[in-house]
Amino acid sequence: MKKRLKMPKVSGEGCCSCCCTPCQAGENVIPEEDDFFTAPFNRNRMEIFDIDPNDTESFFTNAERSLIVKEVLDRTQFSPEGAAEIRFGVFKLLNEGVYMSAFPLHEGRYKRDEEDPTPFDGLDKDRARLYEAWARPGRWYCYQPLDLIRKYFGEKIAIYFAWLGFYTTMLIVPSILGVAAFIYGIVTVFTDLPVQEICNSTGTGSINMCPMCDKDCNFWTLDTSCFYSQISYVFDNYATVIFSAFMSIWCTCFLEFWKRRQKTLQYDWDVADFELEEVRARMRPEFEFKVKKRKENPITKIKEPYMPLYQKLPRTLTSLTVVLFMLALVIVAIIGVMVYRMVIVTVFYLVTDPSWVGSNATLFTSITAACINFVIIMVLNLVYKQLALFLTNIENHRTYTEYEDSFTMKMFLFQFINYYGSIFYIAFFKGRFLTYPGSNDYVIFDNFKQDSCSPAGCMVELTIQLFIVMVGKQILNNAKEIFLPGIKNWCRGKSQMKKETDSNLYMRWEQDHNLEKLQLLSLFDEYLEMVIQFGFITIFVAAFPLAPLFALINNIIEIRLDAFKFVTQFQRAPATKTQDIGAWSDILTGISFVAVLSNGAIIAFTSGFIPRMVYMLTVNPDEDLHGYVNSTLSVFRVSDYPADKKPLANSTEDYCRFKGYYSGPDSPEPYQYTTEYWIVFCARLGFLLVFEHVCFFLTWLMAFAIPDVPGSVKRLMLYERQLVRKTTYDAAFAEDREQAAHNNQF
């Protein structure tokens, strides 16, 4: 552990002064801490450390003492000498029922009684200070006191809140621009020519459209999709294209500036070399005592536990097999939702009274399918988390960091497919394999064919799916975090109080024991929730520009909910060191890469942006979209329907129209792709290549131009290293001189 040296103060600002919420709580709440240089603590050279002789108890913080005690309890052996199985750790005793619980106590009550005369600046307990300055709901607008969070909970929880605050702050600009893009869509929707043409019941809107399903559906006119096309335009216009490009660049900005912020925290909190030290000296007790083979460490020359490849490989393959099986199960669930869409949309199309239901069949199907998909996601999450934890325990990783990274990657891979699978289907696959009416190419089984998009496109369905899954997940998680811990704690407290004849006998440790227990990897769910959200606002932002706004609102609430939960509702978390956010950093980088490709593909293949641009440049160079809707509809002869697929009612016209670029029934090769189709297809591919190349170049340029370590931090690190080296040398020289003087006496 690095502790404070007797050195001059470092010029500069502390962690609390540059954090992530709008206002500061004030020094009367949390006194500002001095900056100082540190060095690894050594009992033999205590004179070089800044120790108050009148208050030696405060030299190690409460979190540091908690960390030391936890290490001792985790590693203490209790098996009889010579026993075949080595038994160790307090958690083994907990599992065997020897102890009921083991946890560090909170520092007193978090809230003063109303009659307590203690002034606000007279609070001497960190828990009370954290509640008053940070966890109390009325402090939602204040800076996060990261140094105090670290002092009370340890680096792991502190760096989570630092990351969450930084992420929330970075969402402000995208939220403003996303709202601007949404407002632009609302303002211009009634002046957009293609929308006007679809809604014109006496013009283009009167076009007779082919039934949306075979045999059981009727013909319909284009103007019945007016409302659908208006909603589609609000989320699919020129502003959203620009916004998508901005968000692709924003991802890199966020990650690069977070690296700088993280390096500053690592220096301030003395954890820059933690993972290197962990690999060298701090292995998991489960690995240390369960692995029988020993191998000499080439650096320390000490024999250490070692798991050879022939033991590690079967464990890894077993874990991989189960993970692949679960991923296949998720894909099956997604296919089930797809089948539901195909069946229900046909049922809705059959509804003729009221006719509004039948005309909006696609909209109703999308809403119900998204709700069902959300329920399936929640159920599979509960099952897979326990399974992933079991598999990670089987793998028996050497260090805590490796253990958490392995668990994180398993869970995120599962969650990625679980949350995003249906969205990818709507964005890139739905309706892509449909050809012309009456064709057998798209029939799946019986009379149900592949789910198709409205003539206005699939953007509305994609937006609905995103909104329900993203916002529904946030509402459910926040409701669970607000109500469940409080209700459970209240019930346990009342039950305990009934057993006590005197309320004064309800001891501090009993009160803490009745709080909600922190689960293993307690921060994992918090990180996962935010990273999944990060994927929603980056990978699919082209379809839902309001996603950053919903994320910003949720995160402002989330910071205070998590703070309130850790300070008041949960047992105190054992202090844990870490130097970064772990595997989540690599996952965020991967999401940023996917976001560029996904946004480019959504604009190119799902949005109507490219066909509109091609029409203006090739058909109507005057940049006028008159006739655009008609150009996207092909002609089908009603008599060409096979006998077993003819619609319910006969059309008053001999022809109907359907969406696509196909040759007419009287052409030499009827119902084949036209030249316009291939022009649009090439334009889509060209746009995708240009979009992703430009975005990747700009992100690379920004990553190159923004150094990971701020210059001021780098200079302080070099200066501290030199100062510590000199101080250590002077202390050693003084010891040698004292020893020499002692020897000369004899």
For residue range 168-188, what is the model confidence (pLDDT) as tens digits? 999 999 999 999 999 999 999
Q: What is the pLDDT of residue 27?
A: 47
Q: What is the pLDDT of residue 682?
A: 93
Q: Is residue 426 part of a domain?
A: yes
**What mean pLDDT is reported for the chain?**
78
Average pLDDT over residues 192-201: 88
Q: Is residue 341 part of a domain?
A: yes
Q: Is residue 176 part of a domain?
A: yes
Helix, coil or strand: residue 107: coil
Helix, coil or strand: residue 296: strand
Q: Is the whole model's pTM more than 0.85, yes or no?
A: no
β-strand partners of 443:
449
- Predicted confidence (pLDDT) at residue 289 exceeds the cutoff of 80: no
* pLDDT tens digits, 355-408: 555 556 666 677 777 778 778 777 777 777 778 888 888 888 777 778 888 888
* pLDDT tens digits, 445-462: 455 555 666 666 677 778
Locus of tokens 């100062």: 723
- Predicted confidence (pLDDT) at residue 345 exceeds the cutoff of 70: no
Q: Is residue 662 part of a domain?
A: no
* pLDDT tens digits, 100-154: 888 888 887 887 655 455 444 445 578 888 888 888 888 877 888 888 898 888 8
Taking alpha carbons only, the member of 148, 149, 144, 192 closest to residue 20 is 144
Q: Is residue 276 part of a domain?
A: yes
DSSP assignment of 305-372 equals E---HHHHHHHHHHHHHHHHHHHHHHHHHHHHHHHHHHHHHHHHHT--SSHHHHHTHHHHHHHHHHHH
Taking alpha carbons only, the member of 310, 497, 320 closest to residue 409 is 320
Helix, coil or strand: residue 570: strand
Average pLDDT over residues 655-665: 86
Residues with Cβ within 8 Å of residue 648, at least 6 apart in sequence: 211, 215, 216, 217, 218
- Predicted confidence (pLDDT) at residue 706 exceeds the cutoff of 60: yes
Average pLDDT over residues 428-442: 68
126-165 core/surface letters (b: 16 or more CB in 10 A; e: else): bbbbbbbbbbbeebbebbbbbbbbbbbbbbbbbbbbbbbb
For a pLDDT cut of 90, what percent of the chain falls above it? 8
Band of the pLDDT at 574, cuts 50, 70, 90? confident
Q: What is the pLDDT of residue 20?
A: 44
How many angstroms separate the CA atoms of 324 and 318, rounded?
10
Average pLDDT over residues 667-690: 89
β-strand partners of 209:
220, 657
- Predicted confidence (pLDDT) at residue 315 exceeds the cutoff of 80: yes
How many angstroms separate the CA atoms of 369 and 250, rounded?
32
Q: What is the pLDDT of residue 430?
A: 73
Q: What is the pLDDT of residue 18?
A: 43
Q: What is the pLDDT of residue 525?
A: 83
DSSP assignment of 469-490 equals HHHHHHHHHHHHHHHHHHHHHH
- Predicted confidence (pLDDT) at residue 34 exceeds the cutoff of 50: yes
* pLDDT tens digits, 581-625: 888 888 899 998 888 888 888 888 888 888 888 888 887 776 678
CA 46, chain centre distance (Å): 44
Average pLDDT over residues 65-83: 79
Q: Is residue 152 part of a domain?
A: no
- Predicted confidence (pLDDT) at residue 248 exceeds the cutoff of 80: yes
Residues with Cβ within 8 Å of residue 385, at least 6 apart in sequence: 411
* pLDDT tens digits, 624-648: 788 888 888 899 888 888 777 777 6
Locus of tokens 């003063």: 112
Q: What is the pLDDT of residue 354?
A: 44
Structural domain span for residue 239: 167-557+589-611
Q: Tell me how many domains the chain contains.
A: 1
296 neighbors 303 (Cβ within 8 angstroms): yes
* pLDDT tens digits, 497-538: 777 666 566 777 888 888 888 766 678 888 888 998 999 889
Q: What is the pLDDT of residue 174?
A: 93
Q: Is residue 362 part of a domain?
A: yes
Average pLDDT over residues 319-345: 78
- Predicted confidence (pLDDT) at residue 424 exceeds the cutoff of 50: yes
Q: What is the pLDDT of residue 16?
A: 40
Q: How many residues does the chain have?
A: 746
544 neighbors 466 (Cβ within 8 angstroms): yes
The larger pLDDT score, comparing residue 68 to residue 213, is at 68
Band of the pLDDT at 651, cuts 50, 70, 90? low
β-strand partners of 457:
454
